[in-house]
Amino acid sequence: PSARITVDPHFAIGPIQRKLFGGFVEHLGRHVYDGIYEPGHETADAEGFRQDVIDLVKELGVSTIRYPGGNFVSGFRWEDSVGPVEDRPRRLDLAWHSTETNEVGLHEFSGWLDKVGSDLMMAVNLGTRGTLEAIDLLEYSNIRSGTALSDQRVANGKADPFDVRMWCLGNEMDGPWQLGHRSADDYGKVASMAAKGMRQLDPSIELVVCGSSSAHMPTFGEWERTVLTHTYEDVDYISCHAYYEEKNGDLASFLASAVDMDGFIETVVATADHVGAVRGSKKKINISFDEWNVWYIERFHGVDKIEGIDNWPVAPRLLEDIYSVADAVVFGNLMISLLKHADRVTSASLAQLVNVIAPIMTEPGGPAWKQTTFFPFSVTSRLAQGDALQLKLDAPTYSTEVYGEVPLVDAVATHDAETGRSAVFLVNRSQTEAITITADVSALGDVSVLETHAVWDEDVYAKNTLEDRERVTAKTNDTAVVADGTLTVTLPPVSWTAIALG
Ligand code: AHR
């Protein structure tokens, strides 16, 4: 089979924001403790952070990092996580049935962000707390000095404000599992109140209101409409969260997961614009896709769950999915979906970063290594610069049980007018056939192939494990060539490919 695309820099979807390549660190399982922080490790620095992990996070290329949750944040008292470490309380984390030691808190995490070169995106607790605590945390974080809380921060060793730019108004408040879960109407009122208060303190911050925790929630659509009706003028973004997994051996549908993400984004944009129209507002609400990934949630409910009144472990092994080549192909396709909507998805966070549904794994006292999903993220984050481009794509289709008839190929391109460089990102969803792509790139001028990166394997379920840490790496695709304004490349079955042109 073959497919055709046309790449033309005149057809820009919108500028690609660096915030699209954000990550997410939750106090969950071995993410913080025994993940990024392990004082006894041979690579640990003076603050106890693993240098091998810092190096991998830098190579991954994550911009903003959402923190400290996730479900965790809905039971979090931020005051516990600042001040002398020896005075910090150990607390029950009800979300993950664990003990939070608070050894790593706001100051330590902010220091780690400086080491990896990422910005903080903070979530406030609107599950079990409210406006006052949100304002307090903002004062502690963003006011220079001269007030009780800002002076407390200075006394705790941070003279300059943290100056946190982006704030999430709670987490997944539509989910019955969420501490403090409430109706869209009730949450919308709380979020509006908190947002107004926070903006009274610092009008320059950006605010994200909670959308749905999946497009398959029973309240999806109506949740967004109601919440935005309460908060339209108070916030900049509404969040989307989506996780995908192969279910019942249906790889064909799993490979088409990005079709679902496309529909999710377009529905939320339509809903937000509908609320704007009803209000007669010129303002546009954008999407912060602040949790997305492949996640075998079914396995979590079956295997990982911790229970028992006397059983609250510190840093248990939770949500430690080991990703396959097929998972990485779907993952790369989800990034294509985000880029295809770069005009309205202007912020996103891969959930998560280390050990917990993560592109980076660690073993206590042992190595750190890359999962299969590391490669599409690091390559896309580095090569997708400038504008995302609308492609004319003609591809054969295949039928899936979950999504019906869908294209065998998905693709997006990017173009950076400053450097003159472009990139094309492609997936082949066929399990049996290689597909040859013919791309008209004549509008890009006299370009040639600069780099190719591909994830595919004879065994689509190949994985990197502690025992075999480099079983899967990014390969080149040497079939990619430009001649007479036409790029041709053959994509192996179940593959993700990036091609840099310039
Ligand atoms: O990323 C894991 C969990 O998924 C987060 O804590 C929660 O927000 C979502 O349900």
- Please tell me if the CB atom of residue 26 comes closer than 6 angstroms to any atom of ligand 1: yes
The three-state DSSP-derived secondary structure of 126-171 is CCCCCHHHHHHHHHHHHCCCCCHHHHHHHHCCCCCCCCCCEEEECC
Residue nearest to atom 8 of ligand 1 (CA): 70
Torsion of CA 148, 149, 152, 158, to 10 degrees: -130
- Please tell me if the CB atom of residue 316 comes closer than 6 angstroms to any atom of ligand 1: no
Which numbered atom of ligand 1 lies nearest the CA of 357?
1
Q: Looking at residues 443-452, what average pLDDT do you find?
A: 97
Per-residue pLDDT tens digits for 193-244 = 999 999 999 999 999 999 999 999 999 999 999 999 999 999 999 999 999 9
Question: Distance from the CA of 74 to the center of ligand 1, in angstroms?
Answer: 11
Task: Band the pLDDT of 467: cuts 50, 70, 90.
Answer: very high
End-to-end CA distance of the chain: 27
Q: Is the pLDDT of residue 309 over 80?
A: yes
**Do 256 and 406 touch, CB atoms closer than 8 A?**
yes
Q: Is 148 exposed, middle or buried (0-12, 13-18, 19+ CB in 10 A)?
A: exposed
Residues 460, 467: Cα–Cα separation, whole Å: 19
Residues 241, 238: Cα–Cα separation, whole Å: 10
pTM for the structure as a whole: 0.98
Residue 437 confidence (pLDDT)? 98
Residue 333 confidence (pLDDT)? 98
Which numbered atom of ligand 1 lies nearest the CA of 319?
2
Per-residue pLDDT tens digits for 273-296 = 999 999 999 999 999 999 999 999
Q: Looking at residues 337-357, what average pLDDT do you find?
A: 98
- Please tell me if the CB atom of residue 452 comes closer than 6 angstroms to any atom of ligand 1: no
Least confident of 301-305, 471-475, 479-483: 301-305
Q: Is the pLDDT of residue 482 over 90?
A: yes
Pocket test for ligand 1, best of 71, 98, 174 (most atoms within 8 A of CB): 71
Paired tokens of 416: 């950076």
Sign of CA dihedral 436, 440, 444, 447: positive
Question: Distance from the CA of 394 to the center of ligand 1, in angstroms?
Answer: 36
Paired tokens of 65: 């990092």
Residue 300 confidence (pLDDT)? 74
Residue 302 confidence (pLDDT)? 67
Find, among 381, 386, 337, 338, the residue nearest to 359 by Cα: 381
Find, among 345, 380, 350, the residue nearest to 244 by Cα: 350
Residue 305 confidence (pLDDT)? 82
Residue 298 confidence (pLDDT)? 79
Q: Tell me, what DSSP letter sits at residue 44?
A: B
CA atoms lying within 13 Å on the CB side of residue 383: 26
Per-residue pLDDT tens digits for 348-383 = 999 999 999 999 999 999 999 999 999 999 999 999
Per-residue pLDDT tens digits for 44-82 = 999 999 999 999 999 999 999 999 999 999 999 999 999
Per-residue pLDDT tens digits for 290-303 = 999 999 987 777 66
Residue nearest to atom 5 of ligand 1 (CA): 70
Residue nearest to atom 1 of ligand 1 (CA): 351
